[in-house]
């Protein structure tokens, strides 16, 4: 019998709904929220209001595009956390209401696990190569930088993580220093292509184990610019591409060094990357280079599954649905929750 899951994602500033049938994605609709651009970051109150406006049309469009009627759904999967509480509440309440009305199971999904499980989404006319267990997943987004040991879809262990800022935050905060619009990651990526990564030397952290730190890098970037601007007020404009290239290369170096160490120590060559920063062209190239040099089998997501999306939520929900791991109607969203 077919298992058709509607996934709902509303953890931050993207309202998304997707339909997955037996692991195959039928639709994945994402409505971004332009309202935050003027503020240089996500404003939680505005995000939850925009989710309220977007959720019904987004779900409607996801069902239509999938060619699926509500009554054909097997379960509703939703992101329970981590994320912004007001945003999560919109998706959680909507999912509960719909599951109650349709009398079908409700499945709660951990947003971080969903990023990892995006690698199992199947698409029409694609080779649908999936990671083999156990594998390592580098999860890099605006809120997280973690190395996750994935033993099974429901058995994950964080073996390393950032002790302060996330990699995406480092991109965004440094981009803001240079006057680039939010989120700065994509702009840094674009400009870095024309710059020299060795033009400036930035601080790299020295912390133990497989953990990360990015706050020192941000400070070193800020001080470099502050000092240079004293002599040349046009320093940023004249060196933007080189600054972006050096910043990007340093972030990637930090990320890959710990990932290499974890892969070596744990003797794992199956390595994936997930989260918003996995869209970065330099990081993708670093993965390809490591595949060649260290004989890693790499898994890099399609661009549509790098940032927040409901297909990954529906995929996680599908696995849980198959295990009959259902949520109760009194479950509440969590702003903070581990993998
Ligand atoms: O996973 P994600 O969509 O959501 C949150 O963490 O909320 O990740 C967003 C992050 C932002 O920090 C953004 O700047 C970064 O992903 N990002 C990138 C690129 N595209 C998105 N960072 C570097 N290069 C990119 N091409």
- The number of angstroms, rounded, from the C-alpha of 223 to the middle of its chain's C-alpha atoms is 29
Among 141, 162, 214, say which to mutate for ligand 1: greatest number of ligand atoms within 8 Å of CB.
141
- Non-local (6+) Cβ contacts of 233 within 8 A are none
Q: What is the mean pLDDT of residues 150-174?
A: 97
Q: How far is CA 12 from CA 25, 88, 290, in A?
A: 22, 8, 32
- The CA-atom distances, in angstroms, between 136 and each of 24, 149, 177, 333 are 23, 5, 33, 27
| Per-residue pLDDT tens digits for 164-189 | 999 999 999 999 999 998 889 999 99
Q: Measuring CA to CA, which residue among 169, 303, 163, 307 is closest to residue 247?
A: 169
> Would you give the distance in Å from CA 38 to the centre of its chain?
23
Percent of the chain with pLDDT over 90: 93
pLDDT at residue 40 above 80? no
The top-level CATH class assigned to 135-301 is: alpha beta
Q: What pLDDT does residue 256 have?
A: 98
What pLDDT score does 22 carry? Answer: 97
pLDDT digits (tens, 9 = 90+) for 204-244: 999 999 999 999 999 999 999 999 999 999 999 999 999 99
Query: What distance in angstroms lies between residue 237's CA and the mean position of ligand 1's atoms?
Result: 23
Contact yes or no for 136/106 (Cβ under 8 A): no
Say whether pLDDT at 194 is over 80: yes
Which pair of structure tokens corresponds to residue 333?
Answer: 């969203």
Q: How far is the CA of 36 from the centre of ligand 1 (A)?
A: 15
Instruction: Give the Cα separation of 174 and 250 in Å (integer).
Output: 12
CA nearest ligand 1 atom 3, residue: 307
Stated as kind and residue range, the H or E segment containing 223 is helix 215-231
DSSP 37: G
Residues touching ligand 1 (Cβ under 6 Å) are 12, 141-143, 168, 171-172, 183-186, 189, 275-277, 279-280, 307-308
Q: Whose CA is nearest to atom 8 of ligand 1?
A: 276
Grade residue 157 by pLDDT with cuts at 50, 70 and 90.
very high
- Work out which ligand 1 atom sits closest to the CA atom of 275: 1
Taking the CA of residue 281 as reference, the ligand 1 atom at the shortest distance is: 26
Q: Taking 90 as the threshold, does the pLDDT of residue 39 lie above it?
A: no
CB atoms near residue 72 (< 10 Å) = 15
Where are the strands (E) in the chain, listed by range?
Answer: 4-9, 15-21, 24-31, 75-81, 106-110, 135-140, 145-152, 155-161, 270-274, 297-299
Q: Whose CA is nearest to atom 24 of ligand 1?
A: 280
Domain ranges across the chain:
4-123+305-322, 135-301
Q: Which fold has domain 4-123+305-322?
A: Nucleotidyltransferase; domain 5 (3.30.420)
DSSP state of 196: -
On the question of a common fold for 4-123+305-322 and 135-301, the answer reads: yes
The whole-number pLDDT of residue 35 equals 86
Distance between CA atoms of residues 105 and 95, nearest Å: 10
- Split at pLDDT 50, 70, 90, the class of 1 is confident
**pLDDT > 70 fraction of the chain, expressed in percent and rounded:** 100
Question: Which residue of 13, 168, 184, 247 sits with most ligand 1 atoms within 8 Å of its CB, as the best mutation to test the pocket?
Answer: 168
Query: Residue 258's closest CA among 135, 160, 144, 157?
Result: 160
**Two tokens, residue 179:** 């006057």
Cα–Cα dist 176/200, whole Å: 18
pLDDT of res. 34: 86
The dihedral region occupied by 197, where left means phi > 0, alpha psi between -120 and 50, and beta the remainder, is alpha
Where does the pLDDT of residue 65 fall: very low under 50, low under 70, confident under 90, or very high at 90 and above?
A: very high
Taking 80 as the threshold, does the pLDDT of residue 43 lie above it? yes
Cα–Cα distances in Å, from 97 out to 55, 63, 92, 313? Answer: 13, 16, 9, 18
Atom number, ligand 1, closest to the C-alpha of residue 12: 7
Q: How far apart are the first and last CA of the chain?
A: 30
CA of 217 to the centre of ligand 1 (A): 17
Give 7's strand partners: 18, 77
Ligand 1: distance of its center to the CA of 185 in Å?
A: 6
pLDDT of residue 36: 86
> How high is the pLDDT of residue 37?
80
Tell me, what's the pLDDT at 339? 85
- Residue 147 pLDDT: 98
Residue 307 alpha carbon to ligand 1 centre in Å: 7
CA–CA separation, 124 and 127 (whole Å): 9
Phi-psi region of 246 (alpha: psi -120 to 50; beta: other; left: phi over 0): alpha
Per-residue pLDDT tens digits for 291-317: 999 999 999 999 999 999 999 999 999
- pLDDT of residue 99 exceeding 80: yes
* Ligand 1 centroid distance, CA of 120 (Å): 21
């Amino acid at each position: 019998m077919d298992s058709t899951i509607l996934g709902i994602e509303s953890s931050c500033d993207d309202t998304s709904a997707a339909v997955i049938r037996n692991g195959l994605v039928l639709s994945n609709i994402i409505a971004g929220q332009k309202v935050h651009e003027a503020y240089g970051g996500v404003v939680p109150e505005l995000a939850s209001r925009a989710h309220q406006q977007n959720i019904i049309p987004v779900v409607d469009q996801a069902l239509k595009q999938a060619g699926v009627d509500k009554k054909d759904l097997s379960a509703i999967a939703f992101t329970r956390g981590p994320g912004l509480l007001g945003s999560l509440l919109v998706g959680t309440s909507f999912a509960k209401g719909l599951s109650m009305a349709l009398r079908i199971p409700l499945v709660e999904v951990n947003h971080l696990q969903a990023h990892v499980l995006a690698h199992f989404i199947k698409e029409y006319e694609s080779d649908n190569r999936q990671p083999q267990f156990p594998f390592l997943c580098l999860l890099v987004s605006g809120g997280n930088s973690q190395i996750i040991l994935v033993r099974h879809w429901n058995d994950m262990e964080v073996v390393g993580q950032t002790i302060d800022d996330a990699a995406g935050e480092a991109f965004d905060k440094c981009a803001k220093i240079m006057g680039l619009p939010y989120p700065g990651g994509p702009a840094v990526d674009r400009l870095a292509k024309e710059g020299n990564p060795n033009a400036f030397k930035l601080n790299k952290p020295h912390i133990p184990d497989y953990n990360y730190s990015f706050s020192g890098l941000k400070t070193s970037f800020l001080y470099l610019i502050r000092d240079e601007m004293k002599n040349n007020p046009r320093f940023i404009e004249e060196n933007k591409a080189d600054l972006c290239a050096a910043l990007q290369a340093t972030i990637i170096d930090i990320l890959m060094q710990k990932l290499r160490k974890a892969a070596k120590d744990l003797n794992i060559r199956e390595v994936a990357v997930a989260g918003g920063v996995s869209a970065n062209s330099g990081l993708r190239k670093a993965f390809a280079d490591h595949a060649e040099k260290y004989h890693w089998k790499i898994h890099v997501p399609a661009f549509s599954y790098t940032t927040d999306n409901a297909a990954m939520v529906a995929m996680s929900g599908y696995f849980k649905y198959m295990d009959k791991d259902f949520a109760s109607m009194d479950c509440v969203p969590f702003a903070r929750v581990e993998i």
